[in-house]
Structure 1
Amino acid sequence: MLASLTTVLENPARGLGTFQVLGQIIQSIGQQETDLGFQMLDQTIESYKQIEDKELSIELVASLQELSDDILFAKFKIEDTFRFYMQVQTKQGKQDVISAVTSLLEHERTSPAAFEVMGHETAQIAERYPALVKDLLQVILKTSQEKLSPEQQAELQTQLARTVNRLNLVGSTISIPAKTMDGKPFDWAALKGKVVVIDFWATWCGPCLAAIPHLEELQKKYSDQNVSFIGFSIDADRQALTEFLEKRKLAWPVIIDDIEVDAAKIADGVVAASWEMPSTAACGIAGIPALVVIGRDGKVAAMVHSPQELETELTRATSATPASNDSSSLNQKTRTLTAAGGQLHFITTLPPDADDATAEVAQNNPYLAAANADKLELLDYLLDMQDKVKSIRYRDGFAVAVHEAATRLLALEASDRFHVLAVETAVTILHEQASLGNDKLDQQLNDFMNSLAADERPAIAAHVAFHQLEQRVIASDDLPTDKLEPLLNETFDYLSEHDLSAIHLRLASTVVHAINRYDDEETRKEQFKRFGKVFSQSESRTLAAYGKKITKSATAAANVSQLVGKPLELSGVTDLGGELDWASYRGKVVLIDFWASWCAPCRAQMPKIKAIYEELDRKKFDVVAVNLDRSAEAFEEYSKEHQSPWPNVIGDDGRALAEQYGVTALPTMMVVDGEGKILAVGHSVQALRAAIDNALKPNEK
């Protein structure tokens, strides 16, 4: 192997391509055979030191030297030991991690960059594994004194300070120099005796903005319990913050770090400049929104990252009494977190070991991701949640938990791939529930998408564009029919250019509802024909079948409107468990509703159907529904939140009735008289109200 390497290195024609391939080979071999890997690495370094272009030589040699760390990380199984400990937190597992990291950092070939990497890794897991991180920090600090120069040690301590301060946060008092938006000093001491929520946020942080409405709700809920909310903006661009607050009035005071920000830093990057704010380092904040709860005793009780977690902590804080002087806790010594003059104070006091402490985890939602999970754990969590079956995805709290984890991952520094997956997972789960008529999650989806409206990354912008188009089509009931065509054309172009899946079902049903507003039958058929063809090409079986039905209705000689005057016979199993007794409805005027839970216009009609059902005399008027959901779970999930007092023919029986009577567009409604004959066909209660009233008149006394 070494002889072959010599041959390659002595080739005068070798270029950068050869360099890159050699690096990959050395890394691969070094991970299997450490000694051989280092021999090859040293030989390659010596060779590239000899090239004539000295500037290029220095750059290439530095790049090669970084491979030493890669080889050592594999030799000491750093990744494997960390992963094992995170899966099963045993004392032996913890010791294995400490030993592996110690061996790595003490090795003669370890570079200063390895210390930086380990500092970053400890920061990622500090909140979840504080006892492990405490010991790791001791190892890093001790070995750095032996291996790093004074300048390198100072840089490392600055990096580790944020992690140490986070470990020390709970039980500390906060005294960070801050000022109000009008420049007055902020008095932290004035907060004592209250429960305080400090929302660390920024105007450029989408999840922060999405959290504001939920925080406002919590503020109202706890308004009579002496709870104060404060917004601590880490915005480096103070002008942008001022302009934001002029447009969006917040229900709480906003404070900022009491320092002047260098305009040049803002020009270089406002986000990076914001993360240099002293408050973020003093409190050990690595992701926003960060919601710090201060108890009535003036000490930090918790830091969480979502309104859902905050409510749990507020319940605890408002029901607790201030701790006495001899209270036992993990943090016996009161610390004050300070940051002055733009310089953070490096706190070397670490909290005591928490291995033997019993941690109470109060989580109202069993599906929430682990509190303070790092970005890799959040990514794994979201990937796992994507694979859950519908029976689990439809459970209470599931969608909320996924959204909460996604917003936490978006607030952390991570690659675009991580952020895109977070958005895709949250959108898919929230949209699925919104399409089943969950109004709260529909609003949560709207808030989430609005928070991402300014994100220019193509994959995220595509989700926003789809959502905005869908919302415009849903709102098209307010458009006059002569204004519908441009919107339908735009929607058709969009759908034709994209691969359609189940997420497009709601848009498809809304499009059909919009088409049904046309009075002209030929116009409806033409629209059904072109949209049906697009829908039928979907990978979703439900949407494809829907498209085929629409296409069929556009080419059929007859349609449901030609059923008027003909008898209607209904049969089949209902959601009540028995057979529908259609004969028992004789003598009544009956509204028949063909619908599906994924059909937004169908759900929009439900309150109107319920209103007329409650208004009219049950002896004279009734309702029977025919549900066309292919999934029993979808119908059951919708029914949990929207129980109807009338029967639904479900499953294969419902779909057979739709096929029998040529029902393709949803919702389709029929008014049937006391003899069982169809009096009118339409797509809304409003359109059929006159037919219902006229049918009831002969029965009036």
Structure 2
Amino acid sequence: MPVPGVPNAFRPAALLRLLLVGLVLSAPVASAVADDTPDKDPYAIPEGNNPTALSLYLRGLMRMFPEDRTEEGLKQHFGKLSQIGTELLSRDLDDDTALLAVRIKFGSLTILSQQLGDPAAAQQLSKFAAALKEDTRPAVAKEGERLDLILRLNRIASLTDAERKQLVDDVASRLQEGELDDEKLALVTQTARGLEDIDRPLAASAYQLFAKYMAARGDERLSDEIVRFEGAARRLSLPGNPIEIQGTTLAGEPFQLDRFKGKVVLVDFWATWCPPCIAELPHIRKLYEQYHDRGFEIVGITLDENRERLDQFLAEQELPWTTLFEPNPEKQGWANPNVVRYGVSAIPTAILTDQEGKVVSLRAYGEELDRKLKELLGPPTASK
């Protein structure tokens, strides 16, 4: 299962690594020994359809990196791998070997098109994915459906609204089929996360739909993921609605957000071990100094688990706003009730509320925070 707190940025390259590396690591180890003959062409395809020999050969190619690391060298290398995939798929292969060939071709074309900017490879990739779904071999056709989902996910930003909705439905259908492994869970997670900055309502409904189908499996091991998916849907539905935040201050006092009723409040999920969080602190401090006297408050919800380290950091930084720290070790870090309630999966996550207590931004840092504070409280005053 994915580790909570994986960066929220959409990273199709991570799925590509699952395609190429994950399959190699999960493939059974063949008993034959690879041919280490000097000057032997490493790209030369073995004759015949022996599964053991071809499996060793393909797994070796997946681990191989060209000596020429230039762009041209990489293009030649992955171009050869794509051609090898085409050649092997024309043979009468067993299912496992055919799937290896499919993945090495698909992965190579993906790298050529997305990482190396080869427009011809992009066209080949689309045609290849479409052809796979029509393959007469059931296992290959099924793999084609899965790779088509990944291909659409990789270009999710360019899809139409209807195509995005269809992608969510197709991913949900796949979620209901067979065993829910790490790769499938990565697919549903990346689909929902990939929609967050593109279509927030659709992302929220995707999280809810995926949580529903995970819950239907009745697998207790999925309980944490289900809660986080439901929390993410709750977070994405916050704009225009109040946010519920409660916890314990550093002084051990109970805290509820309504303490700042009538104020503009920044709820900042952060930690001392998070470099982007620390990098944002000077900017937040500047805005606090400019707007605090005009009704701007900050509530920092730390995901730290080491109170001594936190106290040392705060003593050095002298942060003037409220910081919440969960005293119960079992509810610290990513298990913090506020983090779980809103499905926070990456930090910094900064949520801004207006004077009525309603959320006006889910990404309230950088220029977005400046803009929103100016809208709500007017132009900034000079820093003290």
Range of TM-score over shorter length = 0.5 to 0.7
1:72 corresponding residue in structure 2: 143
TM-score, normalised with respect to structure 1: 0.34
Q: Please list the CA deviations of residues 387-433 of structure 1 after superposition, one character each: whole Å capped at 9, or x if unmatched.
A: xxxxxxxxxxxxxxxxxxxxxxxxxxxxxxxxxxxxxxxxxxxxxxx
Residue 143 of structure 2 aligns with an amino acid whose one-letter code is: L
> 3-state SS of the aligned residue for 1:293?
strand
Q: Paired residue for 1:48? A: none
Matched residue type, 1:274: G
Q: Distance in 2 between matches of 1:96 and 1:220?
A: 47
How far, CA to CA, are the matches of 1:256 and 1:37 in structure 2? 58
Is 1:101 the counterpart of 2:146? The answer is: no
Deviation at 1:142, TM superposition (A): 4.8
Q: 1:238 deviation in Å?
A: 1.2
SS in 1 for 2:351: strand
Label 1:153 to 1:120 Cα distance change in 2 as closer, same or farther (>3 A).
same
1:177 Cα deviation (Å)? 3.5
Q: Contact conserved, 1:169 with 1:284, CA < 8 A, in 2?
A: no
Shift of 1:312: 1.0
Partner of 1:4, secondary structure, is: coil
Q: 1-side partners of 2:47 and 2:205: how far apart?
A: 41
Aligned to 2:96: 40
Q: Separation in 1 of the partners of 2:263 and 2:61?
A: 63
Partners of 1:203 and 1:221 in 2: how far apart?
A: 24
- Which of 293, 297, 312 is residue 352 of structure 2 equivalent to? 293
Aligned counterpart in structure 1 of residue 242 of structure 2, from 173, 178, 181: 173
> How far apart, CA to CA, are the structure 1 residues paired with 2:243 and 2:376?
17
Secondary structure at the residue paired with 1:223? helix
1:137 matched to 2:207? The reply is: yes
Q: 2:317 aligns with which of 248, 265, 289?
A: 248
Distance of aligned partners of 1:175 and 1:134 in 2 relative to their CA distance in 1, 3 Å threshold: closer
Are the structure 2 counterparts of residues 143 and 194 from structure 1 closer, same or farther at C-alpha, using a change threshold of 3 Å? Answer: closer
Cα distance in 1 between the residues matched to 2:256 and 2:180? 45
Larger radius of gyration: 1
Give the unaligned 5+ runs of structure 2.
1-45, 64-80, 101-138, 379-384
Q: Can you give the 5+ residue segments of structure 1 that lack an aligned partner in the other structure?
A: 45-67, 266-272, 320-701
User: Counterpart of 2:266 in 1: which secondary structure?
Assistant: strand
**C-alpha distance in 1, partners of 2:338/2:254?**
15
Distance in 1 (alpha carbons) for counterparts of 2:231 and 2:368? 22
User: Which structure has more RCO (C-alpha within 8 Å, separation ≥ 6)?
Assistant: 2
Aligned-residue Cα RMSD (Å) equals 4.0
CA contact (8 A) 2:265 2:353 kept: yes
Shift of 1:181: 0.9
Question: 8 Å contact 2:274–2:347 — kept in the other structure?
Answer: yes
Selected match of 1:239 from 295, 298, 308: 308
1:260 pairs with one of 328, 352, 355 = 328
2:49 corresponds in structure 1 to 4
Matched, 1:302 2:344: no
Give the AA of the match of 2:275: G
Change (3 A) 1:73 1:132: farther
- The aligned residue for residue 279 of structure 1 is 338
- 1:461 corresponds in structure 2 to none
Report matched runs for 1:562-641 at 5 Å.
none
User: Separation in 2 of the partners of 1:312 and 1:159?
Assistant: 30
Question: 1:77: how far off?
Answer: 0.8
Q: Alignment partner of 2:300: what SS? A: strand
Superposition TM-score, scaled by structure 2 size: 0.59
Contact residue 196 and residue 295 of structure 1 kept, 8 A:
yes
Mapped to 2, the partners of 1:132 and 1:69 lie a distance apart of 31
What is the alpha-carbon distance in structure 2 between the residues aligned to residue 207 and residue 43 of structure 1?
A: 40
Q: What residue identity is the alignment partner of 1:112?
A: D
Shift of 1:211: 2.1
C-alpha distance in 2, partners of 1:143/1:150?
11
The within-5 A match list for 1:15-414 is 20-21=59-60, 39-40=95-96, 72=143, 75-88=146-159, 90-108=160-178, 111-128=180-197, 129-144=199-214, 148-257=217-326, 259-261=327-329, 274-318=333-377
Distance 1:294 1:136, change over 3 A: closer
Deviation of the 1:244 alpha carbon: 1.2
The whole-number CA distance in structure 1 between the counterparts of 2:162 and 2:195 is 19
Query: Per the alignment, do residues 35 and 275 of structure 1 end up closer, same or farther by CA in structure 2, a change over 3 Å counting?
Result: farther
Q: Give the superposition deviation at 1:236.
A: 1.3
How far off its partner does 1:195 sit? 1.1
Quickly say closer, same or farther: Cα 1:149–1:36, change in 2 above 3 A. farther
Q: Which amino acid aligns with 1:200?
A: F
Q: Secondary structure at the match of 1:101?
A: helix
CA gap of 1:156–1:33, structure 2 versus 1, over 3 A, is: farther
Is the 2:168–2:191 contact (alpha carbons within 8 Å) kept by the matching residues of 1? no
Question: Per the alignment, in what secondary structure is the counterpart of residue 200 of structure 1?
Answer: strand
CA contact (8 A) 1:207 1:289 kept: yes
Q: Does the CA contact (< 8 Å) of 2:195 and 2:203 recur in 1? A: yes
Contact 2:193 2:203 in 1 (8 A): no
| SS in structure 2 at match of 1:119 | helix
The one-letter amino acid paired with 2:349 is: A
| Residues 137-156 of structure 1 deviation map (CA, whole Å, 9 limit, x = unaligned) | 3543454456x342244244
Q: How far apart are the structure 2 equivalents of 1:2 and 1:118?
A: 36
Look up the match of 1:483: none
CA drift at 1:235:
1.1
**Contact residue 169 and residue 300 of structure 1 kept, 8 A:** yes
Q: Which amino acid aligns with 1:315?
A: K
In 2, the alpha carbon distance for the partners of 1:36 and 1:139 equals 40
- Are the structure 2 counterparts of residues 241 and 83 from structure 1 closer, same or farther at C-alpha, using a change threshold of 3 Å? same
Q: Secondary structure at the match of 1:315?
A: helix
Q: CA deviation at 1:69?
A: 11
1:595 corresponds in structure 2 to none
Contact 1:295 1:317 in 2 (8 A): yes
- Displacement of 1:42: 10
Write out per-residue CA displacement over residues 223-270 of structure 1, whole angstroms, 9 at most, x where no aligned residue. Answer: 34222223222211111001112222112222223x4115xx9xxxxx
